[in-house]
Every structure is written in C-alpha cells, then in structure tokens.
Amino acid sequence: MQHQKTLETLALPWKSDLDKNKMDVYRHTTLLTDIDLIEEGRDIAIKGENDEVCGWIPNSTFMKEVFKQWKLTTAYYNTLLNTVEAAVTTVDCNGNIIFLNRISEEMYGLSLNEVHGQSITNFFEKEAIVLMSTIKERQEVINKYNQPHPNVHVLINTSPVYVDKEVVGGISIERDITEMVKLNDELASTTAYLHDLESTTQSQQNLSPFSKIKGRSPVLKEAINLANKVAKTDAAVLITGDSGVGKELFAEGIHKAGKRSNHPFVAINCGAIPTALFESELFGYEQGAFTGAVKGGKKGKFDAAKGGTIFLDEVGEMPLELQVKLLRVLQEKHYYRVSGNKAIPTDVRIIAATNRDLEKMIDEGSFREDLYYRLNVISISIPPLRDRIEDIPELIQLFLKEFSLKYTMQIPEIDPEVMYTFLQHPWQGNIRQLRNIIERIIILASDNEVIKPHHLPKNFVKENNPHTLNIQFEEIQKLNGQSEEEIQYALQKTFGNKAAAAKLLGISRATLYNKLKKHNLKG
Ligand SMILES: Nc1ncnc2c1ncn2[C@@H]1O[C@H](COP(=O)(O)OP(=O)(O)OP(=O)(O)O)[C@@H](O)[C@H]1O
C-alpha cells in the first residue's frame, strides 16, 4: 500500500535504566510487517549496525503505529477495490466471502452485507469457482476465460493470499467481457447470416433465366428486358443478330423465364439437317417408313420438346420446301409422323433465330413471307459486340475465369495494350470469337504470365487496322494518369470501365479511384 516504515523510525534513544531482557529485540532495519506477534505490554529493543542495542520502542507507541498503519492500509485497500474497473472478490482460506466490491455486487446481483462470511459455494456453481482451486492448489490464474453465471462471461485473475507463507485466503479479479462475447456472437451470427444471404442471392442469380448473359451495356439490358417480357407469353419469337452474339443464350433464357421452363428446350440447327431427313428429324416416323428406318419408328424433335420450346436456329438456312412443311405445322397446330396418319397436336413454343436478313431474302424469294410473319410475332435484335464495347471487359473476365478453371491456371493479368486491342477490335465473330481467343490465350500462356500482344493470334491482330491502332496506342502509352484530361480520355476510351481505364493508364484501380475523387470526377 504505502512505503513500509522501519523500526528505526519509531525508536527512542536507549536509556541505561531499561532492561533489554524484558523486551523483544529486533534489528533497526526491520519492517513493521516483519514483526511477529508482540506480547501485550512488551516493549521492543532495537539493535543497530554493530549489533549493539541502541534504541527502544515503547509498546504503546508501537501499537499506536500499528493501528495507524492498519487504518491507512484499510483506507487504501477499500479505495483501490472500489476504484478498480473489475469485480473483486476476496475469501478466507475456507472460501468464506470477506469482501465484494461494487462491481462484483452488480455483476452477480449480490450484496456484501448479505453474503459476508458465507461460503462462496452457496452462490456459485462449484466447478465455476476458480478462486477455490486457486486456494487449494496455491496456484495463481491469469486471464482465464470463465462463465461463473449463465449470463456472465469474464476473464479472471486469481491469487492466493499469503501471511508468513501460509495461505489465508484468496482474491479474484474478474473483467466482465459479456458485452464483448455478445458482440462477438452477434458478429458471428451476422457473418453467417450474410454468408447465407450471399449464397441465396448467388443461387437466385444463378437461377435467374438470363444470368448467363453477361454485360452491362444499355442495348444488352434493353434486349434482356424485352426477352423477359416476351417470355411470359407463348408468342413466337424471332431473335436476330450476327453470328455469335448470344442468340441461343437469349432463346434459352426466354424458355427458362416462361411457363414451359419445366419442359424440354430442344435446339435444331436448321442449316445442318439434310433436306431428306428434315421431316423425320422434326416430326419422327412410324415403323417401316423407309429403308433403314429404326424398328418401331422414331420420335422427332417436336415429340421430344413436348410442352417445352423448340429453338429453330439459323432458320434462314432452311430450304424453301421445308419452310412450307414447317409453316403448315405451325398453321394447323398439328403434325404427322412420316408414314403416319395420326395428327399429333403441336404443344411447343417456337423460338427462331437468324443472322440473315430475312426481309431481303423474302424480296429475293428465298424465304417465305407467311412463315416469316408466323415466326416473327415478336422480334428481338441482339446488337453486335462492336456496338456494345462496354461489355468487353466483363466478358474477358468471365472467360478468363472459365478457362483458367478449366485448365487449372491462375487467372492471368491482361496487359493494357491487349485490353486496348480488344476494345478496338471489330469482332466479326462476336462473343464466340472473343471466347475462343481467350481460351487460346489461356492454353498458350504460362502460369503468372501477363497477357501481352504476342499472345494474340496473328490473323486476329491483322483484322485490326494496325496503323491507326499503333498511333493511338502510342498516344495512350504516353499517358500516366496524372492529369484530369488523361483520366477522362481513358474513361471515354474504355466506356467508363474503371478497371480497363486503370489498365490503360498503367495505374492501379485504387489509384484511379483516388484520382477520380481528387478531381471530383464521376467516372
Ligand atoms: N452476353 C453473353 N455473356 C456470356 N456469354 C455469352 C454472351 N453472349 C454469348 N455468349 C457465349 O458466346 C457463345 C456464342 O453464343 P450463342 O451460341 O448464343 O450465339 P448465337 O448468336 O446463337 O450464334 P450463332 O448465330 O452462330 O448460332 C456461347 O458460348 C455463349 O455462351
């Protein structure tokens, strides 16, 4: 508590009429606390450096001093116990409660007056009382987690209290961490909840009928919106667009978003079926229909797609005579198997797609106008990739991920020049071409290699106009993202795609964000 006094400080000078044999003798440096029990009425003789008795302390002075020290110690002790931000409990060697401070009283809902002198085991589960084992085993405990009550979590320090090497009791100091435990629990459950939410939204996203169609361009979003609306009806849909723009993905999406989604989606490439087999392929045949026919007949695509959707891909490639047959089925709403005479009702939704200009074909007489109107109740036009360059960075990332996974590679980084080449490319083969190129890149690149222009196929590079490209690229190479104009230029060149713009400027995405903030740019 306080600085201990030595006996010397209390001593009076030795007098010749005193008898040291009637006194207890101590050295002058002895501390008050080191003194054994003094018999009532006995004075203390003090020995100096040379072991000569040099002073004495009358018993009354000693007792007064002890009393004074006791009062002081108790005052400090009580103040300390009630000031400390922890629950303090002291017990005697039998585990009877001597003291609880205010925090201890509050923490356990006990009042010192009521529990004083009672065994601590009356108030706590035996196995939860660290203090008891500390006394028994004479072993201090530091920062041990304990749950003395179902609603209380603490970190506990305990120590036996010794007087002259003998354990006279124990003291425990507990820091209440209930709030922390609760917060931690909440954090854990919130994290788990977030995980759940994330995977539900992810699976919902995966379930979304058009989720496979990636891209953020307004033209693409518009096409998806229209497809979504059309999907709710049973109307025939004609999807137009260049080769590889994703027409089949749209057809699948419409099927999945419609009420026929639990039935099959059957795709037919109209350009790939030989004329002689077209009817039997589509409508099936009865036994003995022709030489080489399978015994028992065979079902056709219309049977296979029953209740679902038939996707007539490349419908513009269909020979005229077959167009007539298809038209008849669509008009009459039933079909016959080859060599069959039973009319089978058609129960399919028709979605057709073409990359040909059907109206021009009608003018030229190679596509039937009546069939065109049958198929084209609603048309959805999918824009070519060169008209929605904003989608390119996302598609690149998608395919990089897909093929890195397939060929068990790290997802490589794309050099800004390659990104720029991609953004400027005319993409005659659209997304299919982009996908194929990325697959090739992944196959040819080594792990951890940055994708550079030399990774691109030679004929692909030739498709670009190398002259303009180089000049523009050189211009861009001079950029370092320092000025507001450069940042705006890069954003404009990359259609606002920040990842691509950062690559062009040769700075990290975080740096670009900082610069956008600094220049107050929206990006
Ligand atoms: N927006 C897109 N997001 C992701 N992948 C796409 C997207 N569009 C197309 N693809 C992918 O590109 C490839 C070509 O797409 P799809 O077969 O749907 O094109 P298509 O227009 O039907 O081509 P074709 O006219 O040659 O039959 C497929 O691998 C498809 O998954």
What ipTM does this complex have?
0.97
Specify the pTM: 0.56
Report pLDDT for 254. Answer: 97
Q: What spacing in Å lies between the alpha carbon of 256 and ligand 1's midpoint?
A: 16
Helix, strand or coil for residue 120?
helix
Report pLDDT for 467. Answer: 41
Report pLDDT for 231. Answer: 95
The protein residue with its alpha carbon nearest to ligand 1, atom 16, reads: 246
- Please give the biggest Cα pair distance in the chain: 148
Q: What spacing in Å lies between the alpha carbon of 367 and ligand 1's midpoint?
A: 25
The protein residue with its alpha carbon nearest to ligand 1, atom 26, reads: 243
Residue 117 C-alpha from the chain's centroid: 55
Q: Measured between alpha carbons, how far is 154 from 464 in angstroms, rounded to an integer? A: 70
**Per the structure block, which two tokens stand in for 521?**
């740019």
CB 54 within 8 A of CB 14: yes
**Measured from the CB, is residue 253 less than 6 Å from ligand 1?**
no
Q: What spacing in Å lies between the alpha carbon of 321 and ligand 1's midpoint?
A: 29
Report pLDDT for 473. Answer: 52
**Measured from the CB, is residue 240 less than 6 Å from ligand 1?**
no
Q: Which ligand 1 atom is at minimum distance from the Cα of 215?
A: 1
Q: What spacing in Å lies between the alpha carbon of 81 and ligand 1's midpoint?
A: 76
**Measured from the CB, is residue 267 less than 6 Å from ligand 1?**
no
Q: Which CATH architecture has domain 386-518?
A: Orthogonal Bundle (1.10)
**Measured from the CB, is residue 431 less than 6 Å from ligand 1?**
yes
Q: Measured between alpha carbons, how far is 181 from 159 in angstroms, rounded to an integer? A: 25
Q: What spacing in Å lies between the alpha carbon of 349 and ligand 1's midpoint?
A: 21
What residues does CATH 1.10.8.60 cover in the chain?
386-518
The third-level CATH classification (topology) of the domain covering 218-383 is Rossmann fold (3.40.50)
**Measured from the CB, is residue 219 less than 6 Å from ligand 1?**
no
Superfamily of domain 7-67 in CATH is CBS-domain (3.10.580.10)
**Measured from the CB, is residue 247 less than 6 Å from ligand 1?**
yes
Q: Which DSSP symbol is given to 412?
A: P
Tell which residue, 375, 348, 358, 371, has the closest CA to residue 237.
375
**Mean pLDDT of successive 10-residue segments in the chain (523 residues)?**
78 90 91 81 90 91 90 89 88 92 88 92 76 89 77 85 90 83 62 63 70 90 95 95 94 95 92 81 76 67 93 92 90 88 91 95 95 95 90 89 88 81 86 94 86 84 52 56 77 70 75 80 64
**Measured from the CB, is residue 249 less than 6 Å from ligand 1?**
yes
Report pLDDT for 469. Answer: 43
Q: Which ligand 1 atom is at minimum distance from the Cα of 239?
A: 21
Q: CA-based angle 269:270:273, to the nearest 5?
A: 90
Residue 266 to residues 90, 255, 305, 496: CA-CA distances in angstroms? 81, 10, 6, 39
DSSP per-residue letters across 433-454:
HHHHHHHHHHHHSPTTPPB-GG
The third-level CATH classification (topology) of the domain covering 85-176 is Beta-Lactamase (3.30.450)
What residues does CATH 3.30.450.20 cover in the chain?
85-176
**Measured from the CB, is residue 25 less than 6 Å from ligand 1?**
no
β-partners of residue 222 are none
Neighbours of 349 (CB within 10 A): 24
